[in-house]
Structure 1
Amino acid sequence: MITNIYFVRHAHSTYTPDELNRPLSESGLKDARKVTQLLSEENITHVVSSPYKRAIQTVEGIAKELGLNILIEDDFRERRLADHSVDHFEEVILRYWEDFNFHLSGGESGYGAQERGIKSLESILDSYRGGNIVIGTHGNIMVLMMNYYDPQYHYDFWRNLDMPDIYKLSFEDKKLLEVKRICT
């Protein structure tokens, strides 16, 4: 039985230091409507999201259109880089991708974030077997989960993601069969 996961990287957000409540920007809200249009043709059965507002806002349109509740899954939140603001973001993020054991003070290593995300993803695969599940999430944690199944999903792939972006992952049980980008 095939289960399809639609990873939705959130649309553009308006920066605030409050990670949990950072909202989508005006262009992000417009792009979220495109996400709804694209996913409305995919026979979606469940909608799950990170607890971050920008992820929820990106997938709430499809949930409303289909009359589905959004299940909030804390483990689909973005990877925490540090317990302080990070200077030289690009250099630090590259180091995180080069060494999955690396982490700054208060940060989450690649392996730690990947394990967290995969545990929740596999729970979703077990709970909604045969379904078409939308997961509103974030670029880094999304690619870490994809990397678990196929190492071609790494730093360069992450750098080239759009906001928003949608990837359909087809599984048989917990074996990844195919990845397909759904253009936004």
Structure 2
Amino acid sequence: MRTTIIFVRHAHSTYSPDELGRPLSSKGFTDAATMSEVLKKESIDIVISSPYKRAVQTVEAIAEFIDQKVIIDNGFMERKLSDQPVGDFEFAIREVWKNPTFSLIGGESNEIAQLRGIEATLKVLDLYEGKNIAIGTHGNIMVLIMNYFEDRFDFSFWKNLQMPDAYKLIFENKQVLEVMRLSMEK
């Protein structure tokens, strides 16, 4: 039986040091509404999200449209890069992608973050087999999950993601049959 997971990278957010509570910006809300229109065409059955406010806000409208609540799953939280401010974000991200077991102080390596994301994804595939699921998440963890199934989803792929962005993965027996980007362009 085929199961579809659409990973939705959150829309643009207003920066604040509060990672968990950082909301969408006005542009983010506009783009999230457009993303919801795209998702309406996908016959979504279930909506899951990272607990981060910006991820939830990106998929809230599709949950409302199908008259469901957003299910929160910590497995889809963004990877923790460090527990301290990172001076050179670009350098830090490049390093964790270069060496899958490397992590900054208090942060998750690609290997650890990917394992968390895969455990959450496999749980979703078990619980909602045969359904169409939208998952509000974040760029790094999304690509790490996709990379587990196909190694073409790598650092370069991550660098080219949009905010928001959505990738539809069709699974059968926990194997990916097809991956396609959902376009927000009219």
TM-score tier by shorter-chain length is over 0.9
What amino acid does structure 1 have at the position aligned with 2:16?
T
- Superposed CA RMSD in Å reads 0.5
Asked whether the equivalents of residues 144 and 154 of structure 1 are also in contact (C-alpha less than 8 Å), the reply is: yes
Q: How many residues align?
A: 184
Give distance in 2, aligned partners of 1:161 and 1:88.
20
Asked whether the equivalents of residues 46 and 132 of structure 1 are also in contact (C-alpha less than 8 Å), the reply is: yes
Identity %, equivalent residues: 53
Q: CA deviation at 1:158?
A: 0.1
User: Which runs of 5 or more structure 2 residues have no equivalent in the other structure?
Assistant: none
* Equivalence for 1:103: 103
* Equivalence for 2:58: 58
Using the size of structure 1 for normalisation, the TM-score is 0.99
Alignment of 1:180 with 2:149, yes or no, is no
Give distance in 1, aligned partners of 2:163 and 2:120.
23
Give distance in 2, aligned partners of 1:97 and 1:39.
30
Q: CA deviation at 1:69?
A: 1.2
Alignment of 1:114 with 2:114, yes or no, is yes
Asked whether the equivalents of residues 129 and 173 of structure 1 are also in contact (C-alpha less than 8 Å), the reply is: no
* Equivalence for 1:135: 135
* Equivalence for 1:75: 75
User: Which runs of 5 or more structure 1 residues have no equivalent in the other structure?
Assistant: none
What amino acid does structure 1 have at the position aligned with 2:32?
A
Matches within 5 A, 1:153-164: 153-164=153-164
Give distance in 1, aligned partners of 2:39 and 2:88.
36
The 3-state SS of whatever aligns with 1:69 is coil
Asked whether the equivalents of residues 13 and 24 of structure 1 are also in contact (C-alpha less than 8 Å), the reply is: yes
Q: CA deviation at 1:119?
A: 0.3
Q: CA deviation at 1:75?
A: 1.1
The 3-state SS of whatever aligns with 1:135 is strand
Q: CA deviation at 1:173?
A: 1.8
Alignment of 1:168 with 2:168, yes or no, is yes
Give distance in 2, aligned partners of 1:68 and 1:175.
27
Give distance in 2, aligned partners of 1:55 and 1:131.
21
Using the size of structure 2 for normalisation, the TM-score is 0.98
**Which whole-Å deviations, capped at 9, do the CAs of 1:58-94 have from their partners, x for residues lacking one?**
0000000110111100110000011100011101100
* Equivalence for 1:151: 151
Moved over 6 A (4+): none
